[in-house]
Amino acid sequence: MVCAMPNAPLPKEIVLADSATKLGASPKGAVIVTGSHGARYAAYLTLKVLPRAVIHSDAGVGKDGAGIAVIGMAEALGVAAATTSHATCRIGDATDMIARGRISYANTTARALGVRNGMPCREAALLLVAARPSGRDPAPIAEARHTLKEPGWQRAIVLIDSASLVRPEDEGQIVVTASHGALVGGRARMALQVCGFAAVYSDAGVGIDQAGISRLPALDKSGIAGITVSAQSARIGDAQSVYDDGIISHVNDTARRLGAAPGEPLAPRLLLWAKGQH
């Protein structure tokens, strides 16, 4: 058993990162605790730095188990991996994960080191310091970016697997991201890095403090129509699935005024907006 004061400093081997896209300067050989979901690309980002072990959010698990893909991907490389339950700590907030998170899934490599479901995230991270990096690289995974635009449309629909792929030219467009709908680290300025017409996210199971939809009010303040789709309806981390399969779960006031409503399929609504039919 690992015994430690809840507020005691973490050992240097444990690295906290609100997003897998921003791991900091020294993640190699560390136990990475990241607020990112455990879907394929986010998992690739943490595994490619050759960590000691990784802990992601389970993002409500969702369609096809997309939110916990990291468990199997890490196991195939001999890397210890676990996820925290979205119902116990805020996705996108590594500090909250280490403070309140409880383990929801762990692979056999992590279990061999004592990690168990229901265990506090902090305790699990301390146990995983005993893990050894496998030194094995994951197979490369490229994030997808695809733009839909037909003659006569007033704006494009931009499909991106991660909000980090937003570009300046996406200003005024409809941005469909497969990222979670939580404010990264609770920072409102991270809601969307461009002034789009609309932005779509996965609700990541919504979770504690309604973290999975916390970007929506922040988008309202910028006049951006904000939508989340149910994590159970579309694969988090996969923008094509979000667009093709997504069912709207939550909307902000701006999106509501433009006709969007929970329960409707995402794609037909976005097509109307692309054509200027609000």
pLDDT at 167 over 90: yes
Query: Distances in Å between the alpha carbon of 187 and those of 47, 56, 163?
Result: 26, 19, 14
Residue 253 φ then ψ, to 5°:
-65, -35
Residue 76: both structure tokens together: 């195939």
Which pLDDT belongs to residue 3?
Answer: 45
Which pLDDT belongs to residue 212?
Answer: 97
Residue 208 φ then ψ, to 5°:
-60, 145
Q: What is the DSSP letter of 102?
A: B
Identify the band that residue 6 occupies on the pLDDT scale cut at 50, 70 and 90. Answer: low
Query: Distances in Å between the alpha carbon of 108 and those of 44, 80, 114, 136?
Result: 19, 8, 10, 17
Amino acid type, 241 = S
Amino acid type, 102 = R
Radius of gyration, alpha carbons of the chain = 19
Q: 243-255 pLDDT, tens per residue?
A: 999 999 999 999 9
pLDDT at 159 over 50: yes
pLDDT at 4 over 60: no
Identify the band that residue 185 occupies on the pLDDT scale cut at 50, 70 and 90. Answer: confident
pLDDT at 156 over 60: yes
Q: 191-245 pLDDT, tens per residue?
A: 898 999 999 999 999 999 999 999 999 999 999 999 999 999 999 999 999 999 9
Q: 19-37 pLDDT, tens per residue?
A: 999 998 779 999 999 999 9
Q: What sign results for the dihedral spanned by CA atoms 71, 231, 40, 32?
A: negative
CA distance 229 to 235: 10
Residue 101: both structure tokens together: 């998170």
3-state secondary structure of 90: coil
In the chain, what is the greatest distance between 2 CA atoms, to the nearest angstrom?
Answer: 64
Q: Where are the alpha helices (DSSP H) in the chain?
A: 40-47, 69-77, 94-100, 108-111, 121-128, 215-221, 239-245, 253-257, 266-274
Q: 95-128 pLDDT, tens per residue?
A: 999 999 999 999 999 999 999 999 999 999 999 9
Residue 163: both structure tokens together: 């909000």
Query: Distances in Å between the alpha carbon of 39 and those of 45, 78, 123, 267?
Result: 10, 18, 23, 22
CA distance 60 to 79: 22
DSSP state letters, 58-92: -TT--GGGGGGHHHHHHHHHT-EEEEE-TTTS-TT
Residue with tokens 């490599």: 109
Look up the pTM and report it. Answer: 0.94
CA distance 199 to 79: 35
Which pLDDT belongs to residue 142?
Answer: 79
185 backbone φψ class: left, alpha, beta (φ>0; ψ -120 to 50) = left
Q: 53-97 pLDDT, tens per residue?
A: 999 999 999 999 999 999 999 999 999 999 999 999 999 999 999
CA distance 39 to 260: 27
CA distance 118 to 149: 46
Identify the band that residue 1 occupies on the pLDDT scale cut at 50, 70 and 90. Answer: very low
pLDDT at 147 over 70: yes
Which pLDDT belongs to residue 249?
Answer: 98
Beta-bridge partner residues of 109: none
CA distance 15 to 128: 12
